[in-house]
Amino acid sequence: MGRRFARNGALAGLAAAALFGAGTPVAKLLLGQVGPWLLAGLLYTAAGLALFGWRLVRRSPRVHLAKPQLPWLIGVVFFGGLAGPLLLMFGLASMPASGASLLLNAEALFTALIAWLVFREATDRRIVAGFVLIAAGAVVLSWPGQAQFAGWWPTAAVLAACLSWAIDNNLTQRLALTDATWLAAVKGTVAGPVNLLLAFILGAQLPAWPALAGAAAIGVLSYGVSLALFITALGLLGTARAGAYFSVAPFFGATLAILLGDPITWTVAVAAALMALGVLLHLRERHGHWHSHPAQLHEHRHAHDDGHHGHRHDPPVPPGVWHSHPHDHEPVTHTHEHFPDAGHRHQHRGDGGPPQG
């Protein structure tokens, strides 16, 4: 069961990276008609509205957050939709793109460090090595040859934006059992208007309708669907691992740029090798031991063949059918292969045997 969840999480993380990375060279085609800040606002807004529309068409059930989850959601909205974009705006206002492109790789590093050091997410040398290789590949792809940072204040602002998004990623993982499309829609409809407001304050004006339509299409796929897939990966793999897979996004962007006519360079080849090796190390991870689940009552999407949901329904729900409703978990102690997903945030004893007492 753990391997299936890991495989699904890896596929979701890589698909999120592919959609997000592929949107980058396409979005660049619009920058001649739309400013970068206004474009970001259009992308996020289109993503949020599309996901809410999708939920309406599908008649998705309403999401009910428990009171203990509300602080996590407030933190996600503040750090991901407000603080991150605002800090990045201050940094980019005085910094050349060469320096910013390198500094933005710090988001993945901060995400992993917070997951490992603050939330005590389980890891090992294989995962750390894989993360380092993936991050190194991202740095190689974004290396401009000669980076300029324009002083400590713009540098600090961009790094603070990366830290804000890293906090956002870790807080989002605390909500990862929530419907991913709902959570992604909420984040999009917050970050989008915030970016639009900042763009209009800076004097931006709406472009012609073809550019608006293009931005909407990129927003739906590269931001909306991509974000929902990333949240799914967070729930199945944990924050650091999902963040590592998502760091592959620049490679997918570079690949699409090559298909659109850019030449193949040594940086793309080296980055591809580093990232492929890093992903392979992650896919080969094995983690299993005795652990305990306390009794709890909550609501989230689940199926009855995952080893944790054996409750009864009237009428019965077949195994493998995903559904959502409030349900009880009885306390259980067992051992199986698993990952630091949303259902396995336990501490690690390191003894390999059944928990005592």
pLDDT at 351: 42
Query: Has residue 235 got a pLDDT over 80?
Result: yes
Query: Has residue 305 got a pLDDT over 70?
Result: no
pLDDT at 195: 85
Query: Has residue 84 got a pLDDT over 70?
Result: yes
How far apart (Å, rounded) are the C-alpha atoms in residues 251 and 242? 16
How far apart (Å, rounded) are the C-alpha atoms in residues 298 and 327? 6
Average confidence (pLDDT) over 57-70: 86
Query: Has residue 308 got a pLDDT over 90?
Result: no
Average confidence (pLDDT) over 345-349: 53
pLDDT at 262: 78
- Which pLDDT band holds residue 40 (cuts at 50, 70, 90)? confident
Tens digits of residue pLDDT in 19-37: 988 887 777 778 778 887 7
Give the three-state DSSP class for 290.
strand
Who wins on pLDDT, 216 or 353? 216
Of 178, 181, 127, 146, whose CA–CA distance to 300 is shortest? 178
Average confidence (pLDDT) over 303-310: 59
pLDDT at 317: 66
- Which pLDDT band holds residue 356 (cuts at 50, 70, 90)? very low
With a pLDDT cut of 70, the percent of the chain lying above it is: 74
pLDDT at 55: 94
pLDDT at 352: 45
DSSP class of 221: I
Query: Has residue 45 got a pLDDT over 70?
Result: yes
Query: Has residue 49 got a pLDDT over 90?
Result: yes
Contact indicator for 36, 169 with CB cutoff of 8 Å: no
Query: Has residue 314 got a pLDDT over 50?
Result: yes
Average confidence (pLDDT) over 243-252: 86
Average confidence (pLDDT) over 7-17: 87
- Which pLDDT band holds residue 75 (cuts at 50, 70, 90)? very high
- Which pLDDT band holds residue 357 (cuts at 50, 70, 90)? very low
Average per-residue pLDDT for the chain: 79
Tens digits of residue pLDDT in 279-300: 888 777 655 555 565 666 656 5
pLDDT at 281: 85
Q: Give the CA count within 13 Å in the CB-facing half-sphere of 268.
A: 13
Tens digits of residue pLDDT in 127-137: 889 889 999 98
Query: Has residue 143 got a pLDDT over 60?
Result: yes
Report the range of poorest mean pLDDT among 176-180, 245-249, 308-312.
Answer: 308-312
DSSP structure string for 89-140: HHHHTTS-HHHHHHHTTHHHHHHHHIIIIIS-----HHHHHHHHHHHHHHHH
